[in-house]
Amino acid sequence: MEEQLKQIAQWIITSKRVVVFSGAGLSTESGIPDFRSPGGVWDKYNPEDFYFQNFIASEASREKYWQMATEMWEPIKAAQPNQAHLTISELEKLGKLDCVITQNIDGLHLKAGNSEEKILQLHGTAIFVSCLSCKKRYDRDEIQERIKKGQMAPRCEVCGGLLKPATISFGQTMPEKETQAAYHRSSTCDLFIVIGSSLVVQPAASMPLVAKRNGAKLVIINRDPTPYDDTADLVIHAQAGPTMASLLEYVKKGIGIDHEPTI
């Protein structure tokens, strides 16, 4: 793996536009459960109950949604960035990150120190709640306090509209601005690094191919094989955190930074 990491480090150093694409593997390494795995949330609830159309149509559906969302929020709130998140943040500080495109809703890239404008959240974020009518944004903890006090399906204090975590639910349209920006950044980068994603959830999973078809080098760092391993220029099957921490040290050595690692 050492030679592979040195090669990736060299590509990072010589690239002008590095895009990082992060998936659920980063969240699980920070202790956030994989909600689709046995014993996860979807063992207790039927995902079909949480389609966006049901949330809009029924107060009972909204109450059930918020019950499920509250259970999911506790581990997300407690989670801290791992070595992979911190390395991606460090790449931004070194001037080597164009953006991070993430499928994750946990806000850990922001918590790790990446600038908000550098993060494209394809599936939204759980750390805020938004009004579906007037678009007012609330801090998640403020709304969770209301739920603790008995508001089973809270509404906007400004317009009375429906409140929902700022995540993309089943049946809900992908965020147009972020999705367009992600495709554009993918098509114009010269190095695209996938970290902790199985690359099976569309349309996000098509972005590595967009990058590759437009001339970028494609690197995949994931514990398990992905459908695009044969397309990539370099693949490492390993945990994201330790791998990215080692990679950062090769990058720093390559650009002449000898101080102690920040992670």
Q: Which of 123, 184, 237, 259 is catalytic?
A: 123
Determine whether 123 is an active site residue.
Answer: yes
Q: Of the candidates 167, 191, 226, which is a domain's last residue?
A: 167
Say yes or no: 19 and 37 in one domain: no
* Percent of residues, the chain, with pLDDT higher than 90: 83
Say yes or no: 27 and 37 in one domain: no
Three-state SS at 128: strand
Say yes or no: 10 and 70 in one domain: no
Domains of the chain: total: 2
Say yes or no: 91 and 26 in one domain: yes
pLDDT tens across 97-153, in order?
A: 999 999 999 999 999 999 999 999 999 999 999 999 999 999 999 999 999 999 999
Three-state SS at 129: strand
Q: Which domain holds residue 244?
A: 1-31+81-123+174-263
pLDDT tens across 140-165, in order?
A: 999 999 999 999 999 999 999 999 99
pLDDT tens across 29-52, in order?
A: 999 987 665 555 656 777 677 899
pLDDT tens across 180-193, in order?
A: 999 999 999 999 99
Say yes or no: 159 and 103 in one domain: no
Say yes or no: 186 and 140 in one domain: no
Q: Of the candidates 167, 192, 224, which is a domain's last residue?
A: 167
- Across the chain, how many H-helices and E-strands are there? 11, 9
Looking at residue 208, which CATH number applies to its domain?
A: 3.40.50.1220
Say yes or no: 60 and 93 in one domain: no
Residue 254 burial (10 A CB sphere; 0-12, 13-18, 19+) = middle
Say yes or no: 27 and 139 in one domain: no
